[in-house]
């Protein structure tokens, strides 16, 4: 059984701050290293909330661990307790990692710089402003792919296109609908002036993190409802350009089923050849149902998540099935 870590004694690092709208974040020092604590977001401003707080920290932890089982580079994530909340702690891969010699035997600690794809897309569009009308935030698939294959810096980094399609497939599997242009990118290493792919990060929007246990218990025994949740109503952050020039979000399972993109097809094959549902289900079973007075992952939630992934895996393995 996974033991949740008590982060209450971890000291706040007042030199580091994190952005984003998915919930409160806090920089702490744990075992001498920098970590980001991700808190569950309150639902009080959401329409017709079924729960008081989202389960995004659990989604972050579980989604990241599933990436790890697939052999895809992902940020290190721990599950814990802080301020009487279940939290995810994400190791900060962009700071205090590289050392370079300065003035003889002294060393100066230098952080890596995370460059989100959003910023790379902005710079690529600036090179030909007459061809692109959107922004770095726009997720039209044609523009995203054009940036990946056309940006001089991205062309110099191995595996960028493969990483994009791997995330496309795995995010469909875990139900992460928020892989926007700010949620993946590259790292600049000041010490050797090199650029590399950043680990996968920001998986907190997976697994219906606003869904209540009551809703799960009602839907898990309803085959039609589970098909809807698993793949029929799933949309990703990426969009087609419609005939009306408006972006229409893509259902990733329909896109996978089409077989129209060879790079996507290759990512599907990599996924099918690597995914181990027994390992994933064992990992879920080893998450405690509660810790103290806090619910962590009740049994109905475990069964709901496992069934969603079983259904999705069947669809991904059999793209000819009727959606």
Tokens of 167: 């995330």
Share of the chain above pLDDT 70, in %: 86
Do residues 36 and 90 make contact, with C-beta atoms less than 8 angstroms apart? Answer: yes
Pick from 130-134, 143-147, 216-220: least confident: 130-134
- Beta bridge partners of residue 306, listed in sequence order: none
User: Which pLDDT tens digit goes with each residue over 234-252?
Assistant: 999 999 876 555 678 999 9
Helices (H), the chain: 56-69, 117-126, 141-150, 152-155, 160-174, 213-219, 223-227, 252-258, 262-274, 277-285, 299-317
Predicted confidence (pLDDT) at residue 101 exceeds the cutoff of 90: no
Q: Is the pLDDT of residue 202 over 60?
A: yes
Residues in the chain: 323
Average pLDDT over residues 126-150: 82
Name the β-bridge partners of 320: none
**pLDDT tens digit string along 272-309?**
999 999 999 999 999 999 998 899 999 999 999 999 99
Q: Any idea which of 134-143, 155-164, 171-180, 199-208 has the lowest mean pLDDT? A: 134-143
44-86: pLDDT as tens digits:
554 454 555 589 999 999 999 999 999 999 999 999 999 999 9
Which of 122-136, 161-175, 306-320 is least confident?
Answer: 122-136
- Residue 203 burial (C-beta neighbours within 10 Å; 0-12, 13-18, 19+): buried
Among 128, 121, 193, 123, which Cα is nearest to 160's? 121
Torsion of CA 132, 133, 134, 140, to 10 degrees: -60
DSSP 176-190: -----TTS-EEEEET
Q: Is 29 helix (H, G, I), strand (E, B) or coil?
A: strand
- What's phi and psi for 260, nearest 5 deg? -80, -20
In order of their start, the domains of the chain are 5-214+221-317 (1.10.1070.20)
pLDDT of residue 183: 95
């Amino acid at each position: 059984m996974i033991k949740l870590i008590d982060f209450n004694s971890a000291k706040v690092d007042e030199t580091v701050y994190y952005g984003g709208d998915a919930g409160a974040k806090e920089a702490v020092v744990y075992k001498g290293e920098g970590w980001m604590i991700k808190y569950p977001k309150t639902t009080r401003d959401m329409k017709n909330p079924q729960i008081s707080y989202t389960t995004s920290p659990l989604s972050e932890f579980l989604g990241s661990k599933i990436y790890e089982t697939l052999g895809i580079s992902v940020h290190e994530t721990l599950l814990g307790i802080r301020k009487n909340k279940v939290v995810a702690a994400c190791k900060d891969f962009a700071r205090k990692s590289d050392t370079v010699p300065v003035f003889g035997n002294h060393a100066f600690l230098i952080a890596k710089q995370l460059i989100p794809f959003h910023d790379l897309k902005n710079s690529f569009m600036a090179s030909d402003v007459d061809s692109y009308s959107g922004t770095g935030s726009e997720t039209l698939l044609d523009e995203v792919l054009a940036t990946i294959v056309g940006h001089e810096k991205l062309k110099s980094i191995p595996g960028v296109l493969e990483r994009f399609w791997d995330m496309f497939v795995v995010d469909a599997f875990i139900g992460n609908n928020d892989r926007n242009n700010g949620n993946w990118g590259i790292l600049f290493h000041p010490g050797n002036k090199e650029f590399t792919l950043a680990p996968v990060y920001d998986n907190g929007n997976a697994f219906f993190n606003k869904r209540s246990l009551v809703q799960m218990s009602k839907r898990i025994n309803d085959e039609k409802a589970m098909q809807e949740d698993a793949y029929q109503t799933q949309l990703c952050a990426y969009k087609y350009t419609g005939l009306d020039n408006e972006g229409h979000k893509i259902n990733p399972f329909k896109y996978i089923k089409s077989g129209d993109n060879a790079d996507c097809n290759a990512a599907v094959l990599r996924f099918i050849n690597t995914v181990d549902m027994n390992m994933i289900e064992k990992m879920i079973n080893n998450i405690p149902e509660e810790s103290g007075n806090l619910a962590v992952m009740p049994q109905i939630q475990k069964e709901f998540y496992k069934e969603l992934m079983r259904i999705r895996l069947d669809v991904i393995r059999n793209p000819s099935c009727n959606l």
